[in-house]
Amino acid sequence: MPRKSKLDNLNQVHGKVENPVTLDQIWGDTGENKYGTLNLEDYEKYVSDLNKSDLQAHAVKVGLVPIDDRKTLVARLKREFVKHVSQYNVKPLDKKEPKLSKKVKDILSEGR
């Protein structure tokens, strides 16, 4: 009876991160620091409660050039907020193997 090798019991770990993340996320940033929330309704309520000068100051704080038109500025802030949130809500990649015909599998296995 052949003896089982100890190598058969080992698991190999790769260093690849399955979901792409930013460097800030690696350091523990949850994304709430910039806007205070990741919920769109909460952010919309916060922005609607600001007066014009506070709204422009908030735009500068998040990295936008403040403009005079309130409606356009609010739309820009919401768009930037949605972009920011999407960086922290990354969907996992699908790992479905494509369905290949027998002929294609035979061609791909020729190099083995």
pLDDT in tens, 34-88: 888 889 999 999 999 999 999 999 999 999 999 999 999 999 999 999 998 888 7
Q: How far apart are CA 94 and CA 7, in angstroms?
A: 30
Structure tokens at 72: 């356009």
Residue from 32, 25, 42, 36 nearest 58 by CA: 36
pTM exceeds 0.75, yes or no? no
- In whole numbers, what is the pLDDT of the chain averaged over residues? 82
Evaluate if residue 20 carries a pLDDT over 60. no
